Amino acid sequence: MIARDLDADVIVIGAGNAAACAAISARNNGASVLMLEAAPREERGGNSTYTAGAMRYVFNGVEDVLSVVPDVNPDTLANTDFGTYTEDQFFDDMFRVTQFRTDPDLCELLIKRSLPTLQWMRQQGVRFQTSHGRQAYKVDGRFVFWGGLSVEVWGGGPGLVDMLLASAEKKGIRIEYETAAIALLRDNDGVVHGVRVRHNGRTRELFCNAVVLACGGFESNTEMRARYLGPNWDLAKVRGTRFNTGAGIQMALEIGAMPSGHWSGAHAVGWDQNAPAFGDLAVGDAFQKHSYPFGIMVNARGERFLDEGADFRNYTYAKYGREILAQPGQFAWQIFDAKVRHLLRDEYRIRQITKVSSDTIEGLADQLEGVDRDGFLRTVAAFNAAVRQDVPFNPNLKDARAAENIVPRKSHWANTIDTGPFEAYAVTCGVTFTFGGLKVNRGAQVEDTAGLPIPGLFAAGELVGGLFYHNYPGGTGLTSGAVFGKLAGESAASAISSKKSRSAA
């Protein structure tokens, strides 16, 4: 191999949560680091910038919560029941929602390192806050948390990216913007030792001892969505960045990396029907519409097509985008009446929204664009007749207030749609990230098709395959990115240190 001057010990491709955690971790372990971001600075951070910032982690009581958010107001603390979210609960959720397909080794790393990783992020300058506004309801004057989520990043996704990259820059990590990686460089022994990049239309090569791929899935690539996810996925909206085009995955596959995970699966949600093709940083995550458990959802035929109350929204929202995409015209309307309007999340009150309302259900039916009016009215009448009136409604738990003897059944939180004014919100499919990616080992090192680690190549974030299948527990994506980002940075720095020690000997 020809001796070359190194641009950095470690090159990290990407500048979102996973990439920044990898860069900071590698730097903390003695490596010099260069980050490459395909986006301009004002669009930096990948999908992380577009998230609301919730992070799922193990906490066994309020002490663990306070280890991540030490500055909770004492009065708020006294009036809050955080509950617990144990390792067993996290394992149960991961195995249940992925239909027991999640890779057990990766799942174990994710869960067991979740709390230590959030504590580490706090030490790196990331500030968290409790998720009172999104994950708790008041019961008898006291906040009660539900769904396994207790904290979110201060300032949401933009705050997370700003805090992580500010920490990286303070540590001397360089970030090059509008610099897209287009190929991995390997020596004659198959060791990854650099990256070919394009900047301002010109191509150049950068050299290093290790590369960490952390540049997202292929959700922003229309052709790859249609190829792998299937028909009509090219019509889905993209919730986040326009830069996650699968480049990192393709570069690794080109040098023999093993594909892994659910390549025909994706995290996809109900998203405003008239949202732009890609995420809008001014609106952020507010195009999502996640209060459907408290109403009904109908398609163009005016028919319900899913169980809106199958589980807490944290465990269903990431798969219901696919269900909406499968409907005629790839849209649906969410219907609510006055009894539950106060439970609707803040995203239902933004200015950029597709909404109609009426004092009567007939008047609402007249305004549901694209929906069969008579079919809708029949659906509402049949649903109202099926709601159990002997079970009290309780939004804090699975209340078993069902709509029975109707298809599809509604398992929980069923209320008659009979009290005006009525509101309806038009939604389509918004894809968040794709589940298919690269096979990595317990050190976040990318494996080849023979199951052997590719020397010098590591991965973190969305492009790690094998964690999520079919569905996703809310808040796990950022945690996964941070856990495997930190791990990839540590492993890359350790491999470089070992290499230098052997060379010195």
- Kindly report the pTM of this predicted structure: 0.93
Q: In what order do the strands lie in the sheet with 128-130?
A: 54-55, 151-153, 128-130
What φ, ψ does residue 500 adopt, rounded to 5°? -65, -35
Residue 419 · residue 359 · CB < 8 Å: no
What residue type is 142 in one-letter code?
A: R
CB 181 within 8 A of CB 13: yes
Neighbours of 336 (CB within 10 A): 23
State the Cα–Cα distance between residues 442 and 440, nearest whole angstrom.
Answer: 7
| d(C-alpha 276, C-alpha 224), whole Å | 20
Alpha helices in 356-443 (DSSP H): 361-367, 373-386
Q: Residue 288 to residues 43, 149, 268: CA-CA distances in angstroms? A: 20, 18, 10
| Joined tokens for residue 469 | 């299948």
What's the 3-state SS for 240-267? CCCCCCCHHHHHHHHCCECEECCCCCEE
Q: Which amino acid belongs to residue 101?
A: R
Q: What is the pLDDT of residue 141?
A: 86
**Cβ atoms 281, 158 nearer than 8 A:** yes
The span from the CA of 315 to the CA of 332, in Å, is 20
Give CA torsion, residues 32, 36, 37, 40, to 10 deg: 90
Q: What is the 3-state secondary structure (H, E, C) of 151-172?
A: EEECCHHHHHHHHHHHHHHHCC
Per-residue pLDDT of the chain (505 residues; tens, 9 = 90+): 445 689 999 999 999 999 999 999 999 999 999 999 999 999 999 999 999 999 999 999 999 999 999 999 999 999 999 999 999 999 999 999 999 999 999 999 999 999 999 999 999 999 999 999 888 888 888 999 988 899 999 999 999 999 999 999 999 999 999 999 999 999 999 999 999 999 999 999 999 999 999 999 999 999 999 999 999 999 999 999 999 999 999 999 999 999 999 999 999 999 999 999 999 999 988 999 999 999 999 999 999 999 999 999 999 999 999 999 999 999 999 999 999 999 999 999 999 999 999 999 999 999 999 999 999 999 999 999 999 999 999 998 999 999 999 999 999 999 999 999 999 999 999 999 999 999 999 999 999 999 999 999 999 999 999 999 999 999 999 999 999 999 999 999 999 988 777 766 5
What are the boundaries of each domain within the chain?
10-218+435-504, 267-430
User: What's the CA angle centered on 64, arms 63 and 66, to 5 degrees?
Assistant: 65
Q: Which CATH number is 10-218+435-504 given?
A: 3.50.50.60
Predicted local confidence at residue 138, as pLDDT: 84
Q: How many residues are there in the chain?
A: 505
Interior CA angle at 29 toward 27 and 35, to 5°? 25
User: Side chain identity at 449, as an amino acid letter?
Assistant: T
* pLDDT reported for residue 2: 47
**Under DSSP, is residue 177 helix (H, G, I), strand (E, B) or coil?**
coil
Cα separation, 231 vs 283, in Å, equals: 28
CA distances from 143 to 80, 149, 369 (A): 5, 13, 39
The answer to whether residues 386 and 379 touch, using CB atoms and an 8 Å cutoff, is: no
Structure token digits, residue 348: 């239902």
> Torsion angle of alpha carbons 7, 10, 11, 15, nearest 10°?
-130
One-letter amino acid at 60 equals N
Rounded to whole angstroms, the Cα distance separating 211 from 13 reads: 7
SS3 269: strand
Q: Give the DSSP per-residue string, 13-82.
A: E--SHHHHHHHHHHHHTT--EEEE-SS-GGGTTGGGGGS--EE---BSSHHHHHHH-TT--HHHHHTEE-
Q: Other CB atoms closer than 10 Å to residue 146's CB: what's the count?
A: 16
* CATH fold for domain 267-430: Flavocytochrome C3; Chain A, domain 1 (3.90.700)
Cα–Cα dist 262/465, whole Å: 7
